[in-house]
Every structure is written in structure tokens, then in C-alpha cells.
């Protein structure tokens, strides 16, 4: 396909070849379970070009060899580069209203904390939205937030955002849950300690053969991630969710996802939300 113009240097760079694109697709499928379609080739070229510059390499073939040779180094950066992190606070708000109702029911019936797993937390907006909802409900809670992308996870755990990224939060939410930066930190907000204490962040690949030991959850958020998995990977993940979700627990998925509907133990209970009722 010739050369593509490098947007940073303005120099021509060899476009990602078909052989290298096929290898990149196979590697990201092996490492993260993500299936890339042919029309993603330009995106892969752009994202991996940044890694080539960072490592001082001139060819995609050399870079992909490095990815395979460094399991603890460049492989992680490769996965991070190809992971999509589109998110925002209170995205798909109907799920948070459902979570609020679940928390109120739990508060009335249970003495233990409500446990929620945000299984693909990206840069953290979803996890902190969950925590804000639970704190406002007055329900004792524990939130586990995980992601395969360690760069995104570090951003999430820092709990530090520009005011532009927090534009969807109301003035009341900002006052209750966030601290505004002053001086050199003006234009930034950071999560209050009271909210931070509700959330634990940890790296986790949903496609890993083994997950760490977990207590059962009352709610699992798994939104806008399985659209990158093939049907068999979706089926396996759903089956694994049944081992960590309490009976009567909720599973929230993305607006374009309906994979729980194929499982006899999940019953639709709202828009892209399912109740776990073991059979």
C-alpha cells in the first residue's frame, strides 16, 4: 500500500503490510482475546507506529518480533496500544439507576457490603461512577475495578481528571465526591478520600486461563468489551461470570451487546441488564 504520512514527523513511513497486520491480529487475539476486523488495519498502523518510534525501530516486522521476545515488556505496551478506551462518567445512565435500586434493596435486607466488579474499567470513569452511586445510596460497598490495559488502569487508580472530562458531572456530584485543584493544579479534579476508599484497582485479563480468587459479587459491569471477542470467547466468559456472581445478582453489558440472553441462567431485567438465576 506504499507509504503513509507520519502525523508527528511528516516523514513517509511504510504502511503496515498484510503479513504484519495478520500477525498483529493473531497476537492481540492470543494475548487479550480481541478480534480485529480487516478495516482496523489503518488504526493498528497508527497505534503501532507510535511504539516503533518509542523503541527506535524502522519496521513493523522487527517490532512484532520484539513483542514476542519480551513477554514482560513490550508485549504489555502492545496490548495497551491496541486497547480501546472510550469511556465517560455515567455512560449509559440507566445502569446506574438500576445499581442505585439494587443498593437500596441490599441496604434494607443485608448487613454485609454490596460487592461490585467493574471488569473493564478503562481509565476509571465507570468505576468512580459506580462508587459515587453507591456512596450516595448510603450502602456499604466494595468495588473491584480491573482492566487489561495497565496504562489506563494507572490513570483510573490516580483518580485525577481534567475538568473537561468531568463536564458531565453535576455541581452537586463535584462538591460531594471531588476536590478541585488550585494554583498549578487548576482545571483538574481529584477523587475525595471517602470515595477512593470504596474502590480497589487491579490488572486482570478477562481471557486469562485463571482469575485470582474472588469473593462472590452482587453486580458485575462488563460493558462495551465483549464486542471485541468472538462468540466462543463470549460464551466462555459468561460461564465464568456464573462462578463469581451471587444468585439474584445483576450483570450490566454494553448498549450493543446481548450475549447473556443466550444463557438459560440469565434473565433480562432491564435495558442491557440481566439477573442471574441459576438453573
Largest CA distance in the chain: 65
> What string of DSSP letters covers 168-235?
TS-HHHHHHHEEE--GGGTTEEEE-HHHHTTEEEEE--TT-S-PPP---EEEEEE-SSGGGS-HHHHH
Q: Which of 47, 115, 135, 223 is catalytic?
A: 47
Q: Which of 51, 115, 147, 223 is catalytic?
A: 147
Instruction: Determine contact, residues 52/60, Cβ cutoff 8 Å.
Output: yes
Contacts of 24 (CB under 8 A, 6+ apart): 16, 36, 44, 48, 60, 64, 82
Q: Tell me whether residue 47 is one of the annotated catalytic residues.
A: yes
Of the candidates 56, 54, 123, the residue with the CA atom closest to the CA atom of residue 91: 123
Q: Which value, to the nearest 10 degrees, does the dihedral of the CA atoms of residues 202, 208, 210, 216 take?
A: 50
189: buried, middle or exposed (CB in 10 Å: 19+, 13-18, 0-12)? Answer: buried
Q: Tell me whether residue 147 is one of the annotated catalytic residues.
A: yes
What span, in angstroms and rounded, lies between the C-alpha atoms of 148 and 45? 21
Active-site amino acid positions: 47, 147
Amino acid at each position: 500500500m506504499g507509504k503513509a504520512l507520519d502525523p508527528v514527523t511528516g516523514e513517509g513511513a511504510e504502511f503496515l503490510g498484510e503479513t504484519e497486520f495478520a500477525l498483529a491480529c493473531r497476537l492481540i487475539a492470543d494475548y487479550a482475546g480481541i478480534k480485529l476486523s480487516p478495516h482496523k488495519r489503518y488504526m493498528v498502523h497508527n497505534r503501532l507506529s507510535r511504539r516503533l518510534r518509542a523503541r527506535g525501530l524502522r519496521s513493523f516486522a522487527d517490532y512484532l518480533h520484539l513483542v514476542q521476545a519480551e513477554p514482560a515488556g513490550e508485549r504489555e505496551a502492545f496490548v495497551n496500544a491496541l486497547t480501546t478506551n472510550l469511556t465517560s462518567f455515567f455512560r449509559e445512565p440507566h445502569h446506574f439507576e438500576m445499581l442505585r435500586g439494587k443498593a437500596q434493596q441490599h441496604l434494607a435486607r443485608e448487613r454485609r457490603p454490596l460487592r461490585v466488579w467493574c471488569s473493564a474499567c478503562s481509565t476509571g470513569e465507570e468505576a468512580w461512577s459506580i462508587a459515587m452511586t453507591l456512596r450516595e445510596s448510603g450502602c456499604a460497598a466494595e468495588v473491584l475495578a480491573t482492566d487489561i490495559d495497565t496504562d489506563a488502569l494507572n490513570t483510573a487508580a490516580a483518580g485525577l481528571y481534567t475538568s473537561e472530562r468531568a463536564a458531565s458531572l453535576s455541581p452537586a456530584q463535584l462538591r460531594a465526591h471531588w476536590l478541585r485543584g488550585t494554583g498549578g493544579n487548576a482545571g483538574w479534579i481529584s477523587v475525595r478520600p471517602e470515595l477512593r476508599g470504596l474502590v480497589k484497582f487491579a490488572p486482570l485479563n478477562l481471557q486469562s486461563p485463571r482469575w485470582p480468587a474472588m469473593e462472590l459479587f452482587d453486580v458485575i459491569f462488563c460493558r462495551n468489551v465483549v464486542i471485541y471477542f468472538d462468540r466462543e470467547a463470549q460464551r466462555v466468559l459468561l460461564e465464568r461470570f456464573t462462578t463469581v456472581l451471587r444468585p439474584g445478582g445483576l450483570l450490566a453489558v454494553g448498549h450493543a451487546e446481548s450475549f447473556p440472553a443466550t444463557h438459560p441462567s440469565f434473565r433480562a431485567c432491564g435495558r442491557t441488564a440481566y439477573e442471574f438465576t441459576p438453573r
